[in-house]
Copies of this chain bind each other. A is one copy, B any other.
Amino acid sequence: MQTYSNILVAIDLNDEAEPVSNKARALAQLTGAKLHFMHVTEPLSYAYGGDVPMDLSSIQEQLQEHAQERMTQFMQSANLLAYNKILANGHIETEIHRAAEEIGADLIVVGSHGRHGLALLLGSTSNSVLHGATCDVLAVRI
């Protein structure tokens, strides 16, 4: 039975990026799947609303450039530059699902902190990614 041929790895650019990408790479080696690494930044307007008395667009641009640099740094340090890199700005789950469809992913890999409790549960990215995904989802325990 074929397992996976296109793996989308959604990473935060923090400590969990490494264990998540290591696990994904090991799985890709076993299955022969293509790897795609993705990072999503959220628009500032999500956190600060539409009626902020200033133009956020230049700050937003700087933040995205910063994310772009950190993503490149991470992929360089983890020896992942050979793989497809995707940066998106928007709702995290929506962008992950959109990218998964675009590349025809059959597996999405995300980090999971395995915390308990309803509030954390509802806020959890791994959980949100799970629901609405049209393919398998692997939550890597951090």
Contacts from A to B (Cβ < 8 Å): 1-3, 22-23, 25-27, 30-31, 112, 114-116, 120-121, 124, 126-127, 130-141
- What are the residues of chain B within 8 A of A2 when measuring CB–CB? 26
Q: How far is the CA of A112 from the CA of B107 in the complex (A)?
A: 13
With both chains docked as a complex, state the minimum distance between the C-beta of A97 and any C-beta of chain B, in angstroms: 10
| Interface pair A126/B136, CB less than 8 Å apart | no
Q: Which of B120, B130, B141 contacts A136 (CB 8 A)?
A: B141
CB-based nearest B residue for A113: B131
Q: How far is the CA of A131 from the CA of B1 in the complex (A)?
A: 29
With both chains docked as a complex, state the minimum distance between the C-beta of A16 and any C-beta of chain B, in angstroms: 13
Q: Which of B23, B27, B137, B140 contacts A139 (CB 8 A)?
A: B137
CB-based nearest B residue for A26: B1
- What are the residues of chain B within 8 A of A31 when measuring CB–CB? 30
Q: How far is the CA of A93 from the CA of B134 in the complex (A)?
A: 23
With both chains docked as a complex, state the minimum distance between the C-beta of A135 and any C-beta of chain B, in angstroms: 5
- What are the residues of chain B within 8 A of A132 when measuring CB–CB? 114, 116
